[in-house]
Amino acid sequence: MNRYLVTLALLISGAAPAAPCTPKQCNAIGAVVADYLANDARRVGRATLAGTAQRRVDPATLQLEEIPNGKLQPAAPSRTIAVLDVDGDMAAVAVYDVSRVDYLQIGMAGGHWKVINTLSEQFAH
């Protein structure tokens, strides 16, 4: 509830909420997400750590199921990437396209942003 009050207070005062990241951070995170979503093993490997988890919720059982590495369908070209939050060496990113939403947890490793975990959900058509 406090978050809504703060947002409402910002709207009433006319103050714009702060961006979730600096332009440099947003560009670096966006590049990692683009590599991760590419249909190219070299780029995906560059964007992830060994053991990056890819999961989705099975709508029939409401259970998490693993997506084998490399089996995540590429996002549609008309996707939208939104950096939701950055806090130190962690970031949360949402990727929206016409068929699904992917939530990515991204972390700093060896001085580079890497995708650590993904949760995907297909939209019902």
Domain assignment of residue 8, yes or no = no
**Beta pairing, strands 112-122 & 48-58:** parallel
Domain assignment of residue 84, yes or no = yes
At 7 the pLDDT is 36
Domain assignment of residue 74, yes or no = yes
CATH number of the domain enclosing 26: 3.10.450.50
What residue type is assigned to position 86 of the chain?
A: V
Question: For 26-35, 47-56, 68-77, 109-118, which range has the lowest pLDDT when averaged over its residues?
Answer: 68-77
Domains of the chain: total: 1
* Full residue range of the structural domain in which residue 46 is found: 20-122
What is residue 40's DSSP assignment?
-
Domain assignment of residue 35, yes or no = yes
pLDDT band at 40 (very low <50, low <70, confident <90, very high): confident
Domain assignment of residue 65, yes or no = yes
At 45 the pLDDT is 87
In this model, does residue 88 exceed pLDDT 70? yes
CB proximity list for 21: less than 8 A, separation 6 or greater: 29, 83, 86, 91
At 60 the pLDDT is 75
The residue ranges of DSSP E strands in the chain, in sequence order, are: 48-58, 63-66, 80-87, 90-96, 100-109, 112-122
Domain assignment of residue 7, yes or no = no
Output the average pLDDT for the chain.
76
For residues 37, 57, 81, 13, the Cα torsion angle rounded to the nearest 10 degrees is -160
pLDDT band at 69 (very low <50, low <70, confident <90, very high): low
Domain assignment of residue 4, yes or no = no
